[in-house]
Amino acid sequence: MTSHIHPTALVSPHAMLDENVSVGPFTVIHDNAQVGSGSRIDGNCELGYPTPLAEGLPLIIGRDSVIRSHSIFYQGSAFGDGLVTGHRVTVREKTVAGKGFQIGTLADIQGHCQIGHYVRTQSSVTIGQQSQIGNFVWLYPGVLLTNDPNPPSNDLLGVTLEDYVVVAVKSTLLPGVRIGRGSFITAHSLVGQDMPENSLVSGSPAKRLCKASDMRLNGDIRIRAYPWQKRFVRGYPDSIIEAWASGNLDISFQSEELEP
């Protein structure tokens, strides 16, 4: 199959679009962009936005991706297969993300950060430089990961979120904080301390209230809310759903079967 480029789109002859890529109207694709096969780039986007901070480096978008309209990606970042974005996302240079990354509308990813597999953010999320995000992490609307311990300064101390962490709406993580695997941070929290794995974290300043796995579902007190992967699987690959169902809740992407 051949690609379908809208006649008003401006695609550099040096950009590399694999087969079966579509590009919408008024989209600009710069020299350094590489887009995997089967991907759809909507209208009014800009891919490979040039920056001296990533001179000569490509933007790599994996296969079967969907980039919704009005989004901007800088050169010098790389995304695994199955990237899906909302509208008007902004992603700067040196962002490296795994497979199945979902970015909500109006997200602002400031670059120089590492993001695992199957991470999902909802809208209006801000991810500061030097953030380290594990696999299967969820960020809800308005979440902010900071990095400057002494504003203003030249220090950059990113936040670390381990695998399966869930951060609820409008919570802020202060510079250098590490949140342990499987923790849940409630809405509107301000988190200034490291938290061990499986923590339920809440408040401003936030404290560890109990184990996340002690929480029950709102609406059905008989069911534990966390680990969430025991009860919520929508949209994940079959191999992962099967692993979770068989009790392997800590998939860590060494196994061959998860490769594309």
Residues that bind a copy of itself (CB under 8 A): 8, 10, 24-26, 28, 43-44, 46, 49, 69-70, 72, 86-88, 90, 105-106, 108, 110, 120, 123-124, 126, 128, 138, 140-142, 144, 146, 148-155, 166, 168-170, 172, 174-175, 184, 187-188, 190, 204, 217-219, 225, 228, 231-232, 234
Q: Looking at beta carbons only, is 78 or 187 nearer to a copy of itself? A: 187
Within 13 Å of residue 29, how many CA atoms lie on the same side as its CB?
29
Of 65, 157, 54, nearest to 103 by C-alpha is 65
Q: Looking at beta carbons only, is 141 or 237 nearer to a copy of itself? A: 141
**Measured distance CA(192)–CA(68) in Å, rounded:** 34
Least distance to a copy of itself, CB of residue 237, Å: 16
- Residue by residue, DSSP assigns 62-121 as -TT-EE-TT-EEETT-EE-TT-EE-SS-EE-SSEEE-TT-EE-TT-EE-SSEEE-TT-EE
200 token code pair: 């339920």
Q: Looking at beta carbons only, is 74 or 79 nearer to a copy of itself? A: 74
Helix (H) or strand (E) holding 173: strand 172-173
**Measured distance CA(151)–CA(58) in Å, rounded:** 32
Q: Looking at beta carbons only, is 18 or 169 nearer to a copy of itself? A: 169
Least distance to a copy of itself, CB of residue 141, Å: 5
Q: Looking at beta carbons only, is 217 or 245 nearer to a copy of itself? A: 217
Q: Looking at beta carbons only, is 170 or 253 nearer to a copy of itself? A: 170
Helix and strand tally (H, E) in the chain? 1, 33
Least distance to a copy of itself, CB of residue 256, Å: 27
**Measured distance CA(107)–CA(86) in Å, rounded:** 8
